[in-house]
């Protein structure tokens, strides 16, 4: 079998290309006459306008079917994630290292906490109501202003020693640092099945059996049930997550510890793939 060889030199190729771009004999620009280019461009313009229109129409239809208050599905949100403040991320997850004698190492951490708690000042919380019931705060109707639902107040002072009010340094210089835990919001999620979920922190790894000396704020480290369920941003625009603060009282200096804080309660599950579902793990090392 042979040969349909069309070997061309480089200059021939260039000439061919130039000819393709503009062929003076046939008056073809890139293989088409100019008027042809206009037509084809117009066709594609129209085509894409129609396609964009169809896309817009589809999205519009989609939005029409969407409930503004809550999503149709919460397939991935079976159990809430848990986050920690201060949150300093190392290569593999949270890693909080500081030196008690070096201000610079912990000032950033303290600032993070202050900033975080800024949303929990009475002023920031003034739209919310005081709740006292220790049961789920179920609202079937829109009782709030502008067709919203009411949210319970959570103020920083509920965190007592870790509120940053009595101790603006959150115990960091003393080596008894406060950490604040937050449970992610999930619409219509009822944690604990009637009992308030609580936080429990412990060492992990080699130190597992070692008791961890820790104070929880509010007492017992519970998330009060009246903060649940969450009804969504549109229904509860001023909702703020309840918090639990943990204060580690007796951390051996200059040793890196791995600590996990789990939220314990019915409906809160843990996932091997997800290090932040229902719990939060972090490394802590306090130097002096």
Partner 1 sequence: MVKKRSDVYSVEIYGTKDLHKTEIEDEEEKHKDQKGNKKKKKAEDLKKELDLDDHRLSTSELEMKYGTSIDKGLSSARAAEILARDGPNALTPPKATPEIVKFLKQMIGGFSILLWIGAGFSWISFGIQLAQGVDSAFDNLYLGVVLALVVILTGIFAYYQEAKSTNIMASFSKMIPQQALVLRDAEKKELPADQLVVGDIVEIKGGDRIPADIRLIFTQGCKVDNSSLTGESEPQSRSCDFSHENPLETRNIAFYSTTCVEGTATGIVINTGDRTIIGRIASLASGVGNEKTPIAIEIEHFVYLVAGVAISIGVLFFIISVSMRYKILDSIIFLIGIIVANVPEGLLATVTVSLSLTAKRMAKKNCLVKNLEAVETLGSTSIICSDKTGTLTQNRMTVAHLWFDNQIYSADTSEDQTTQPFDQSSPSWTALSKIVTLCNRAEFRPGQENLPIMKRVVVGDASETALLKFSEVILGDVMSIRAQNRKVAEIPFNSTNKFQLSIHETDDPHDKRFLLVMKGAPERILERCSTIMINGKEEPLDSEKAEAFQTAYMELGGMGERVLGFCHLYLPEKEFPESFQFDTDSMNFPTSSLCFVGLLSMIDPPRSTVPDAVSKCRSAGIKVIMVTGDHPITAKAIAKSVGIISATSETVEDIAKRLNIPVERVNRREATAAVVNGMELKDMSSEQLDAILREHAEIVFARTSPQQKLIIVEGCQRQGAVVAVTGDGVNDSPALKKADIGIAMGIAGSDAAKNAADMVLLDDNFASIVTGVEEGRLIFDNLKKTIAYTLTKNIAELCPFLIYIIASIPMPIGTITILFIDLGTDIIPSVALAYEKAESDIMNRRPRNKRRDRLVNQQLAVYSYLQIGIMQSVGAFVTYFTVYAEQGFLPSTLLGVRVNWESNAINDFEDSYGQQWTHYQRMYLQWTGYTAFFVSITIQQVADLIIRKTRRNSIFRQGLFRNKVIWVGIFSQIGIALILTYGLGHVTALNFTPLRFQYWFVAVPFAILIWVYDEIRKLLIRRHPGSWWDKNMYY
Contact residues toward partner 1 (CB under 8 A) are 1-5, 7, 31, 36, 39-40, 43-44, 47-48, 51, 54-55, 58-59, 62-63, 66, 69-77, 80-83, 87, 89, 91-92, 182, 184-187, 230, 232-234, 236, 239, 271, 273-277
CB of 89 to partner 1, least distance (A): 4
Identify which of residues 68 and 211 has a Cβ nearer to partner 1 in the complex. Answer: 68
CB of 213 to partner 1, least distance (A): 27
- Alpha-carbon radius of gyration of the chain: 31
* DSSP letters for 78-118: SS-BEEEES--EETTEEEEEEETT-HHHHHHHHHHHHHHHG
CB of 102 to partner 1, least distance (A): 24
Identify which of residues 22 and 44 has a Cβ nearer to partner 1 in the complex. Answer: 44
CB of 110 to partner 1, least distance (A): 19
* DSSP letters for 39-86: HHHHHHHHHHHHHHHHHHHHHHHHHHHS-SSS-S--TT-SS-BEEEES
Identify which of residues 22 and 55 has a Cβ nearer to partner 1 in the complex. Answer: 55
Identify which of residues 6 and 288 has a Cβ nearer to partner 1 in the complex. Answer: 6
Nearest to 149 by CA among 226, 242, 71: 226
The rounded distance, in Å, linking the Cα atoms of 230 and 8 is 72
Kindly state the helix (H) or strand (E) to which residue 11 belongs, with its residue range.
Answer: helix 10-21
CB of 280 to partner 1, least distance (A): 8
Q: N- to C-terminal Cα distance for the chain?
A: 83
Q: 176 near 249, Cβ under 8 Å?
A: yes
The rounded distance, in Å, linking the Cα atoms of 64 and 70 is 14
Identify which of residues 182 and 262 has a Cβ nearer to partner 1 in the complex. Answer: 182
Identify which of residues 2 and 123 has a Cβ nearer to partner 1 in the complex. Answer: 2
CB of 72 to partner 1, least distance (A): 4
């Amino acid at each position: 079998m042979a040969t349909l060889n069309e070997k061309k030199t480089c200059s021939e190729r260039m000439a061919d290309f130039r000819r393709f771009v503009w062929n003076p004999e046939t008056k073809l620009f890139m293989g088409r006459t100019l008027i042809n280019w206009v037509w084809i461009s117009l066709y594609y313009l129209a085509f894409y306008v129609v396609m964009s229109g169809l896309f817009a129409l589809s999205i519009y239809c989609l939005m029409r079917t969407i409930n503004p208050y809550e999503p149709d599905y919460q397939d991935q949100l079976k159990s809430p994630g848990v986050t920690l403040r201060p949150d300093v991320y190392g290569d593999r997850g949270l890693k909080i290292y500081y030196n008690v004698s070096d201000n610079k190492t912990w000032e950033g951490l303290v600032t993070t906490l202050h900033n975080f708690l800024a949303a929990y000042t009475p002023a920031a919380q003034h739209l919310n109501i005081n709740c006292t019931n220790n049961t789920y705060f179920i609202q079937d109707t829109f009782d709030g202003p502008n067709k919203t639902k009411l949210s319970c107040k959570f103020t920083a002072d509920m965190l007592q020693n870790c509120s940053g009010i009595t101790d603006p340094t959150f115990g960091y210089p003393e080596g008894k640092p406060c950490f604040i835990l937050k449970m992610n919001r999930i619409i219509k999620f009822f944690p604990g099945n009637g009992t308030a979920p609580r936080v429990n922190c412990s060492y992990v790894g080699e130190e597992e059996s070692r008791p961890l000396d820790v104070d929880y704020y509010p007492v017992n480290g519970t998330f009060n049930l009246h903060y649940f369920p969450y009804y969504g941003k549109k229904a509860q625009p001023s909702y703020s997550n309840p918090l639990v603060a943990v204060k580690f009282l007796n951390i051996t200096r200059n040793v890196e510890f791995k600590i996990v804080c789990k939220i314990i309660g019915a409906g809160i599950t843990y996932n091997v793939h997800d290090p932040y579902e229902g719990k939060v793990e972090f490394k802590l090392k306090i130097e002096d």
